[in-house]
Amino acid sequence: MNDPTPAQLAPLVTAGAFVLAFIFGAVGNKTRFCTMGAVSDWVNMGDLGRMRMWLLAVAVALLGSSALQLAGLVDLSKSIYPGPNFTWLSYILGGFLFGVGMTLGSGCGSKTLIRIGAGSLKSVIVYVFLGIAAYMTLRGLLGAFRVGVLEKASLTLAPGQDLPSLLSTGLGLSKAAWTAILAAAVGGAMLAFVYASREFRSSFDYTLGGVVTGLVVVGGWYVSGHIGHVAEDPNTLQEAFVATNSGRMESFSFVSPMAYTLDYLMLWTDKSKIITYGIASAAGVIAGSAAYALATGTFRWEGFRDAEDTANHIVGGILMGFGGICALGCTIGQAISGFSTLALGSIITFVFIVVGSAATMKAQYWRMAREG
């Protein structure tokens, strides 16, 4: 029996991405899963509930993805995150600017999609400006600055920038052994911290949001990296990952998919354009959130308050588009999907997203106090 061709696998990959994203959109809406909200609750009120939910998602994704890796079902080194090109300045600046942007834009990329599904016209504007800025950073004017300036500041980490590869090279033991050790240690420490809170343990929504988000990322790796993996594409005679924009295995990330979605819609009649994993996932989040909002009667149209509110959201979208591409991902793409590969760049990006968001919130409250 012949193996399925890439053309036969593509619908399975995009359908899998849509279904997983639909679940994430519905659950994210129900549980108020929001990384910007997590930082805001922590900085402004000292409430770590949603931050713990985010960390629970990271822990579940890390443990599940490492299990897939150790079982031989996927090879996470074939994603964009653990590569040897360690563009440290892009991670730091991109992560920081993404954090600033998500604060100005009332949420990160995934929250923007969830809010669109719930009726936010503000988030539609954020989507458009985020997508345009992301595309300009991928292939346009801002891309020249990214490649010519930011990515010049880089190091080559020969074994790969993921911690298991680095530790295996420096300290011995196999990469698989370090993957198991680090996943258990880091994931276990996160779970211990998350469930040390009685308030967190008492909230079903907190656990639901964190566990489902983490499992969706694990499912994304399986769909793209196992179901969509072709050992030898009959057209190119090379290994291929079907229906991904990067040409590598992907899980969930919501910056470049917004750019590619706009590109697909604008060039609809161009037969070379196809629905990819990322495009299907962006659509799935909106659909899942809309389904939940309509089913529960929480769908509400939302517009801008005034010109300043409009400007903040436009600038926020632009900064997220630029920052997310420079940093290779967002609060889901780097901070959960990337973190699940234990890539050093993903961990750095995660930290600087939080720093950028927290700094912006502090600046906003300083301004309000000064004006008041």
Counted domains in the chain: 1
DSSP H or E stretch at residue 304: none
Q: Write out pLDDT tens, residues 152-210.
A: 999 999 889 999 999 999 887 999 999 999 999 999 999 999 999 999 999 999 999 99
Question: Does residue 200 belong to any structural domain of this protein?
Answer: yes
Question: Does residue 34 belong to any structural domain of this protein?
Answer: yes
For helices 141-148 and 121-139, give the axis angle rounded to 10 degrees: 60
Beta bridge partners of 156: 85
Question: Does residue 19 belong to any structural domain of this protein?
Answer: yes
End-to-end CA distance of the chain: 74
The 10 Å CB-count burial string (b at 16+, else e) for 161-180 is bbbbbbbbeeeeeebeebbb
Taking 70 as the threshold, does the pLDDT of residue 129 lie above it?
Answer: yes
Confidence class of residue 317 from pLDDT cuts 50, 70 and 90?
Answer: very high
Phi, psi (deg, nearest 5) at residue 111:
-65, -35
Beta bridge partners of 230: 240
Give the C-alpha separation, 270 to 287, whole Å.
25
Residues spanned by the domain of 165: 6-371
Q: In 10 A of CB 182, how many CB atoms?
A: 17
Predicted local confidence at residue 162, as pLDDT: 97
Handedness of CA 240, 246, 252, 258 (dihedral sign): negative
Q: Are 102 and 35 within 8 A, CB to CB?
A: yes
Question: Does residue 1 belong to any structural domain of this protein?
Answer: no
Predicted local confidence at residue 372, as pLDDT: 67
- Collect all residues with Cβ–Cβ distance below 8 Å to 370 and sequence separation of at least 6: none
Question: Does residue 193 belong to any structural domain of this protein?
Answer: yes
DSSP H or E stretch at residue 86: strand 85-86
Question: Does residue 86 belong to any structural domain of this protein?
Answer: yes
pTM comes to 0.96
Taking 90 as the threshold, does the pLDDT of residue 370 lie above it?
Answer: no
Question: Does residue 360 belong to any structural domain of this protein?
Answer: yes
Q: Write out pLDDT tens, residues 43-93.
A: 989 999 999 999 999 999 999 999 999 999 999 999 999 999 999 999 999
- Collect all residues with Cβ–Cβ distance below 8 Å to 351 and sequence separation of at least 6: 95
CA 27-30-31 angle, to 5 degrees, is 85
- Percent of the chain exceeding pLDDT 70 equals 99
Question: Does residue 102 belong to any structural domain of this protein?
Answer: yes
Predicted local confidence at residue 228, as pLDDT: 96
Predicted local confidence at residue 69, as pLDDT: 97
Nearest to 108 by CA among 329, 307, 298, 275: 329
Over residues 337-351, mean pLDDT: 97
Give the C-alpha separation, 277 to 251, whole Å.
8
